[in-house]
């Protein structure tokens, strides 16, 4: 179907024309054209639906490159605790009780929350991933999914998990009209000994898929890596061969100059999760140094259990502020750069082709923010407003693959009240043990 936005302001993320004030036409799942001023007559005549873009600011949909969606089930359940206490006494016992239905409903809740706050694509690493994939399919979102593989058990155990990760990737990659992509997801160097990683790498080559892995989230795990393997995690992963595949590293908080240079050389990308890293007291990633070295850095929320929401606008503003404060240089991470990290760079790192830019021929994944709001006055620099003044609640409409998922704050693909009820009910069951 053809539809048309008229009279809108578009922050395209296309370096050739960053701001367009005019029209954008969609045919099927792609942007058929955009231009300044009024849409040409031939475009208008074929548009079966028109959106009045007055007072709306259009951006490519945000891309959340790291999380564990179903953990919405544990929002607010445990905060302000030491990491080991948090994991041992709260998170892991609850996760041990999760059913595949819990993962389905928890992922649906995450999808509802992400759509509401302008995220159109996300990466997810968890378990019972078939049900997570079903939730993505239902929601209409785009996602890159992987079965998280913890390789600490017996060989039989980890081989089964690796096999399940491979099976999941084979079954789901390219499904839902291509909106679902798969990665392979070995959890982390400290939970996946080299034989596990080697098996995963082999499969990733066979399937032509990228690898999504946590790395150097805490100082303690870096020390352990040095004790166990004599080198820090980046060099360790390089030796084992992980970087022979496109790799997305979640967190990457504790890196040396040498590790940053290595990631740049190997083309490994990073998902920066500043809210989670601060809240869990993991530390502050060296984002300006990574960017300077040429590492692609993108943004992620991590799970709701360490955030405690999925509003990527918070990560956007925090990323733009935090590294100024830490480096003492107010010119690092300017607003426009952070917006690219949260859109086009995120999509590229998740292997989503032609996604994350408002440009002819690219995927029609876009969001509209209401600009007739008191906190957007005066109308000065729209990039600044989107990064420093906006929040997820400013998102009015959301489209993915040309299909509208939210219209005027109303979700069109999800029964939000039912989802909220299910998650509440399931949380109470989990709590009873």
Of residues 322-381, which lie at the interface with a copy of itself (CB under 8 A)? Answer: 322, 324-331, 333-335, 372, 374-381
Min CB(339)–a copy of itself separation in Å: 12
Binders of a copy of itself: how many residues, by CB under 8 A?
Answer: 72
For tokens 């892991």, the residue is 92
CA atoms of 76 and 90, how far apart (whole Å): 11
Task: Report the site for a copy of itself in 259-318 (rule: CB under 8 A).
Answer: 275, 277-284, 307-311, 314, 317-318
Tokens of 198: 């080697």
CA atoms of 60 and 363, how far apart (whole Å): 9
For tokens 């954008």, the residue is 24
CA dihedral 96, 122, 212, 297 (to 10 degrees): -130
For residues 132 to 171, the per-residue mask of contacts with a copy of itself, x marking binding by CB under 8 A and - elsewhere, is ----------------------------------------
Min CB(175)–a copy of itself separation in Å: 25
Please choose, out of 7-15, 111-119, 222-230, 257-265, the segment that lies near a copy of itself by the rule CB under 8 A.
111-119
Give, as one character, the DSSP assignment of residue 350: T
Which residues contact residue 331 at a Cβ distance below 8 angstroms, ignoring those fewer than 6 apart?
324
Pick the closer one to a copy of itself by CB: 127 or 313. Answer: 313
Judge whether 399 and 366 are in contact, CB under 8 Å: yes
Q: Is the peptide bond before 378 cis (omega within 30 degrees of 0)?
A: yes
Pick the closer one to a copy of itself by CB: 378 or 408. Answer: 378
Min CB(284)–a copy of itself separation in Å: 6
Classify strands 211-215 and 403-407 as parallel, antiparallel or unpaired: unpaired
Task: Report the site for a copy of itself in 16-35 (rule: CB under 8 A).
Answer: none
Pick the closer one to a copy of itself by CB: 207 or 284. Answer: 284
Which of 73, 211, 297, 299 lies at the binding interface for a copy of itself (CB under 8 A)?
73
CA atoms of 218 and 306, how far apart (whole Å): 14
Judge whether 4 and 23 are in contact, CB under 8 Å: yes
CA atoms of 108 and 136, how far apart (whole Å): 7
* CA distances in angstroms from 354 to 14, 31, 330, 350, 405, listed in the order given: 12, 10, 32, 11, 20
Pick the closer one to a copy of itself by CB: 191 or 337. Answer: 337
Q: Is 260 helix (H, G, I), strand (E, B) or coil?
A: helix
Classify strands 56-60 and 211-215 as parallel, antiparallel or unpaired: unpaired
Pick the closer one to a copy of itself by CB: 71 or 350. Answer: 71
- What is the helix (H) or strand (E) element at residue 125, kind and residue range? strand 119-126
| 64 interacts with a copy of itself by CB under 8 A | no
Which of 19, 191, 391, 404 lies at the binding interface for a copy of itself (CB under 8 A)?
391
CA atoms of 334 and 319, how far apart (whole Å): 10
CB atoms within 10 A of CB 309: 15
Tokens of 204: 């990733």
| 416 interacts with a copy of itself by CB under 8 A | yes
Min CB(381)–a copy of itself separation in Å: 5
Pick the closer one to a copy of itself by CB: 247 or 271. Answer: 271
Measured at the CA of 395, the angle between CA 407 and CA 120, to 5 degrees, comes to 80
Please choose, out of 19-27, 171-179, 180-188, 423-431, the segment that lies near a copy of itself by the rule CB under 8 A.
423-431
| 408 interacts with a copy of itself by CB under 8 A | no
Min CB(220)–a copy of itself separation in Å: 10
Pick the closer one to a copy of itself by CB: 392 or 402. Answer: 392
Pick the closer one to a copy of itself by CB: 27 or 420. Answer: 420
Min CB(391)–a copy of itself separation in Å: 5
Phi, psi of 178 (to 5 degrees): 85, 0
Task: Report the site for a copy of itself in 218-247 (rule: CB under 8 A).
Answer: 219
* Strand segments (E) across 150-187: 180-182, 185-186
CA atoms of 224 and 236, how far apart (whole Å): 12
Which of 31, 109, 129, 135 lies at the binding interface for a copy of itself (CB under 8 A)?
109
| 79 interacts with a copy of itself by CB under 8 A | yes
Min CB(377)–a copy of itself separation in Å: 5
Min CB(82)–a copy of itself separation in Å: 6
| 112 interacts with a copy of itself by CB under 8 A | yes
For residues 87 to 106, the per-residue mask of contacts with a copy of itself, x marking binding by CB under 8 A and - elsewhere, is --------------------
Min CB(432)–a copy of itself separation in Å: 13
């Amino acid at each position: 179907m053809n539809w048309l936005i008229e009279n809108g302001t578009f922050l395209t993320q296309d370096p050739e024309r960053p701001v367009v004030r005019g029209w954008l036409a969609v045919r099927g799942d792609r942007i058929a054209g955009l231009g300044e001023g009024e849409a040409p007559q031939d475009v208008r005549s074929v548009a079966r639906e028109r959106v009045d873009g007055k007072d709306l600011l259009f951006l490519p949909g945000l891309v959340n490159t790291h999380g564990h969606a179903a953990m919405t089930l544990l929002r607010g359940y445990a905060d302000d605790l030491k990491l080991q206490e948090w994991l041992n006494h709260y998170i892991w016992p609850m996760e041990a009780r999760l059913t595949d239905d819990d993962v389905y409903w928890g992922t649906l809740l995450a999808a509802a929350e992400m759509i509401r706050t302008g995220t159109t694509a996300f990466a997810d690493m968890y378990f019972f991933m078939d049900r997570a994939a079903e939730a993505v399919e239902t929601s209409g979102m785009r996602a890159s999914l992987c079965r998280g593989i913890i390789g600490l058990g017996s060989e039989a155990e980890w081989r089964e998990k690796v096999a399940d990760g491979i099976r999941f990737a084979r079954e789901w990659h390219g499904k839902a009209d291509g909106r679902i992509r798969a990665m392979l997801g070995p959890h982390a160097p400290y939970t996946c000994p080299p034989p596990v990683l080697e098996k995963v790498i082999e499969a990733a080559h066979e399937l032509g898929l990228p690898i999504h892995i946590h790395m150097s989230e805490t100082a303690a795990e870096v020390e352990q890596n040095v004790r166990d393997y004599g080198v820090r995690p980046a060099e360790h992963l390089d030796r084992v061969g992980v970087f022979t595949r496109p790799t997305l590293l979640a967190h990457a908080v504790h890196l040396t100059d040498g590790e940053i240079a290595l990631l740049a050389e190997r083309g490994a990308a990073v998902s920066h999760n500043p809210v989670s890293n601060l809240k869990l007291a993991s530390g502050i990633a060296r984002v300006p140094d990574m960017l300077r070295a040429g590492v692609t850095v993108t943004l992620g929320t991590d799970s709701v259990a360490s955030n405690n929401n999925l509003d990527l606008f918070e990560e956007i503003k925090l990323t733009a502020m935090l590294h100024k404060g830490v480096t003492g240089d107010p010119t690092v991470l300017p607003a426009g750069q952070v917006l690219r990290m949260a859109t086009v760079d995120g999509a590229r790192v998740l292997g989503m082709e032609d996604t994350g830019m408002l440009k002819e021929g690219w995927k029609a994944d876009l969001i509209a923010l209401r600009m007739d709001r008191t906190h957007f006055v005066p109308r000065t620099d729209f990039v600044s407003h989107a990064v420093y003044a906006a929040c997820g609640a400013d998102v009015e409409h959301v489209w993915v693959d040309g299909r509208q998922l939210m219209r005027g704050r109303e979700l069109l693909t999800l029964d939000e009240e039912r989802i909220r009820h299910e998650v509440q009910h399931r949380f109470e069951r989990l709590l009873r043990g």
